[in-house]
Chains A and B, each alone.
Chain A
Amino acid sequence: MSDDVLRPMEEREAAAKLTGAWHEGEGILAWLSATGHKTTGRRFVLTSFGFFIAAGVLAVLMRLQLAVPENDLIGPDLYNQIFSVHGTAMMFLFAVPVMQGVAIYLVPLMVGAREIAFPRLAAFALWMLLFGGLLLFVSLLLDMGAEAGWFAYVPLSGPEYSPGKRSDVYAQTITFSEISAIAAAVCLITTILKMRAPGMSLNRMPLFVWASLVTAFMILFAMPSVMMASTFLIMDRLIGTHFFNPAEGGDPLLWQHLFWFFGHPEVYIIFIPALGMVSHIVEAFARRPVFGYVPMVLSLAATAFLGFGLWVHHMFASNVPQLGASFFTAASMMIAIPSGIQIFCWLATLWDGRLVIRTPLLFVFGFIFTFVIGGMTGVMLAAVPLDLQVHDTYFVVAHFHYVLIGGAVLPLFGALYYWIPKVTGRMLDERLGQLNFWLMAIGVNLTFFPMHQLGLEGMTRRVYTYPPEMGWDRLNLIATVGGVLVALSVLLFLFNLLRSLSVGRLAGPDPWGSPGLEWATSSPPPEFNFALPPVVTGRSPLWEAGEEWPVVTGLKLDQREVLITSVLDAEPDHRTEFPEPSIWPFLAAIAVGLTFIGSIFTPWAVVAGSVPVAITLIGWFWPKPGEE
């Protein structure tokens, strides 16, 4: 980079001092205390990827069970647990946190900050995610896995029809992961609004940062709804309240409203960050800024607002008044418009760019190919009459896997190929990457396309088997073959990743010639991100930078001092000192975790747990000696 050449001395001196201030230390204690956003972000992604693989194994088991009719490989009881844990893990433990993990890693780099806001809270979010996921999967091994689906409709998940502790485990897994998501969202919002590099006004923010901001706000509004629902559920089950008991004035539909008021925005919480990723990849490999920055940003915001207005389209088959249903039909149709705008803007960018076809861009092509199918079936599902036919059939299974795999997982893999060189400092193998792409793209379409037809032919969802005379066996077998291909492609990715760690080509700071600030520092970035924090003058800083590269000076180098800027125009506002790494977030997460897990078994756990929670929080917020 130009600044490497121009200011080697200055930079080297600054880096030496900064290393002293920002170093995280060695050893187990330091490892548990680490709060740096790159550490947290990396762990977030690895943790959620671990849950992705575990839930993927469950998916393969389901496909094996359904490969032939009346299969007795897996009985109904185990199958119900498997599909419930698969859904719960994929939605709560993989899709949301992996996107947040990428954001925790990248957003501070993209906005030119030294650290994420509230780094200890981000570390706490990580531990909550880990404990919640372990709860779910260890419970599955203990024959205590969630059994009423990821949506856990009452009364099936209620005290009478789900005896034992299985649905309590589900409810508390939700609580864990929502706390994690909300905590991470708070960190991201604050970082994005208050810690951007000087000059990075809102209208110069990278699109992934915009996407993360929008997503984080959606999380703040959507997640409390499901946390309340899961708390009602566990209260119904544990202490005999009647929130969902119609005989005592409760209502089973209350659960559905609370759940889907979160559940539909959830889809966009997963999908909007992926849109941000796609924009960055398209920009880098089309060698021009994304066409239509302003419509793109407005589309993201519009999606977020509309996303809260269509939850009832999951409930068209319940007793929704017709006029109400019409409103949600209109909203569900409308949300296709912002998605359409973004697709057209990317197509325009591709149309006008010089396309350097590499693995990340291939994944974007796969995204457009696959996601648009999911979007089209989504439009169909908005129409009440058609929805009532295909609702709760394999048509819907096909639809949302097209949307979530096509719309989020394919971009995510593209993003991993794109940004992993920044994280590890080494390139992934291009040929393995392309093979990875083709295996995954073909596997996904082979798995899920036949499911459209299965749904039209009457195959309902969440069935552990089906009669041979229904004629569903051939398409199911094809889907199973596709599922195995997807599993192979993920294994290939892991192989490629592990291989790159030792023999991968060194990446250098900016292997793709990308314009974003994250490429302005070394790969992997130092603990302080930038020796000299950049000042931004446009939307594509590295492409617009001339010989002179303005930087921020005047921050203390021997302390964790960062610059806080104004919300709209990112004008320097004041300096503040950031906290040291701390073991307290880890201890607080353990205390909160034990409280939640204990509350599965006795309400007294909430009382007993409040003591260690209070102690750890006091330790966490204890002022540093010498502070006023």
Chain B
Amino acid sequence: MRAGIFAAFVILVGAAVLLLVFGPITYVREAREFRPDPVAATAPPEIRMTDLQPGLPLPGPNPNTGGENPSWYERNAVALSEGQRLFSAMNCVGCHSHGGGGMGPPLMDDKWIYGSDIKNIYATIVEGRPNGMPSFRGKIPPEQVWQIAAYVRSMAGLTPKQASPSRPDHLQAKAPEASYPEQPPAGGLIPPSATAPQ
């Protein structure tokens, strides 16, 4: 009887310890944030690097944003999974294929022309880049751009494995992001698309 009470006590203490140790990780990884902060989402606009953009030109300036803590997106499983979905839905696959590259550079290697930080990737998507990367400013809301940027990093194994997406329910284009070893960006050869005159 006394040992039973002791056991119950040990279980409770153990649960509390688990909460304290793993809570900070799991609360980020498992969170489902449905409603982005409206204040952050209406920050002042930023510069644009290219005149290209999908669809028709915008009628005027459009609000844009940088997040307070962008690395949150790459540790959050749902943000990465949404990024994976949007990567197809927003037709990133049209040029980059499923990370292997095509008309655009591959994204699943560790060679980064404009930087591998999530903020660099965000800027690349929002501002566009010379030689074909259109600007998605005003087309994709900032929240979703962060999700796509985080997913792009997961394709190169730059996000925590536990949060990275596993296989999607389609034909298998490549191994799941979650199966890549985590790796730091090492730089490397510049792909042909970036060596053309700019």
A143 within 8 A of B: yes
Which residues of A (100-155) have their CB < 8 Å from a CB of B? 134, 137-138, 141-144, 155
User: A601–B176 Cα gap in the complex (Å)?
Assistant: 15
User: A602–B78 Cα gap in the complex (Å)?
Assistant: 19
Contact with A247, one of B18, B23, B80, B171 (Cβ below 8 angstroms): B171
Inter-subunit contact A143/B31 (CB<8 Å): yes
Contact with B7, one of A31, A143, A236, A240 (Cβ below 8 angstroms): A31
User: A137–B16 Cα gap in the complex (Å)?
Assistant: 12
User: A138–B20 Cα gap in the complex (Å)?
Assistant: 11
- Known contacts A28-B3, A28-B6; decide if A240 and B169 are in contact (CB<8 Å): no
Inter-subunit contact A240/B15 (CB<8 Å): no
B77 within 8 A of A: yes
Looking at A141, A161, A601, the one whose CB has the most chain B CB atoms below 10 A away is: A141
Chain B neighbourhood of A239, CB < 8 A: 179
User: A510–B36 Cα gap in the complex (Å)?
Assistant: 66
**What's the tally of chain A residues with a CB closer than 8 Å to chain B?**
35
- Known contacts A142-B26, A164-B77; decide if A240 and B166 are in contact (CB<8 Å): yes
Chain B neighbourhood of A602, CB < 8 A: 161
User: A134–B77 Cα gap in the complex (Å)?
Assistant: 23
Chain B neighbourhood of A31, CB < 8 A: 3-4, 7
Inter-subunit contact A160/B81 (CB<8 Å): yes
User: A161–B77 Cα gap in the complex (Å)?
Assistant: 11
A204 within 8 A of B: no
B104 within 8 A of A: no
B83 to chain A, nearest CB (A): 10
B137 within 8 A of A: no
Chain B neighbourhood of A46, CB < 8 A: 4
Inter-subunit contact A236/B11 (CB<8 Å): no
Contact with A77, one of B32, B165, B171 (Cβ below 8 angstroms): B32
B29 within 8 A of A: yes
A158 within 8 A of B: yes
Chain B neighbourhood of A43, CB < 8 A: 4
User: A246–B179 Cα gap in the complex (Å)?
Assistant: 21
Inter-subunit contact B169/A160 (CB<8 Å): yes
Chain A neighbourhood of B11, CB < 8 A: 134
Inter-subunit contact A163/B169 (CB<8 Å): no
B139 within 8 A of A: no
A409 to chain B, nearest CB (A): 23
Inter-subunit contact B15/A141 (CB<8 Å): yes
User: A248–B174 Cα gap in the complex (Å)?
Assistant: 13
User: A519–B185 Cα gap in the complex (Å)?
Assistant: 73
Inter-subunit contact A143/B78 (CB<8 Å): no
Which residues of A (230-289) have their CB < 8 Å from a CB of B? 236-240, 242, 245-248
B22 to chain A, nearest CB (A): 6
Chain A neighbourhood of B167, CB < 8 A: 159-160, 236, 240, 242, 245
Mostly helix, strand, loop or mixed at chain B's interface?
helix
B168 within 8 A of A: yes
Contact mask for chain B residues 31-60; partner A; CB cutoff 8 A; 1 contact, 0 none: 110100000000000000000000000000
Inter-subunit contact B30/A166 (CB<8 Å): yes
* Closest residue on chain A to residue B165 by CB atoms: A163
Contact with B78, one of A137, A155, A164 (Cβ below 8 angstroms): A164
User: A236–B166 Cα gap in the complex (Å)?
Assistant: 8
Inter-subunit contact A242/B19 (CB<8 Å): no
Contact with B176, one of A141, A159, A161 (Cβ below 8 angstroms): A159
B131 within 8 A of A: no
Which residues of A (5-60) have their CB < 8 Å from a CB of B? 27-28, 31, 43, 46
User: A27–B163 Cα gap in the complex (Å)?
Assistant: 43
Looking at B26, B32, B80, B170, the one whose CB has the most chain A CB atoms below 10 A away is: B32
A165 within 8 A of B: yes
Contact with B19, one of A138, A236, A245 (Cβ below 8 angstroms): A138
Inter-subunit contact A245/B169 (CB<8 Å): yes
Contact with B77, one of A142, A163, A238 (Cβ below 8 angstroms): A163
Other A-B pairs beyond A142-B19, A164-B163, 10, CB < 8 Å: A31-B3, A138-B15, A159-B166, A159-B169, A159-B176, A163-B163, A165-B29, A238-B166, A245-B170, A247-B172
15 chain-A/chain-B pairs, Cβ below 8 angstroms? A27-B3, A28-B6, A31-B7, A46-B4, A134-B11, A138-B18, A141-B19, A144-B26, A155-B169, A159-B168, A160-B165, A160-B168, A163-B80, A163-B165, A166-B30
Which 6 A-B residue pairs are closest in the complex by CB-CB distance? A159-B166, A31-B3, A164-B77, A163-B81, A163-B77, A240-B167
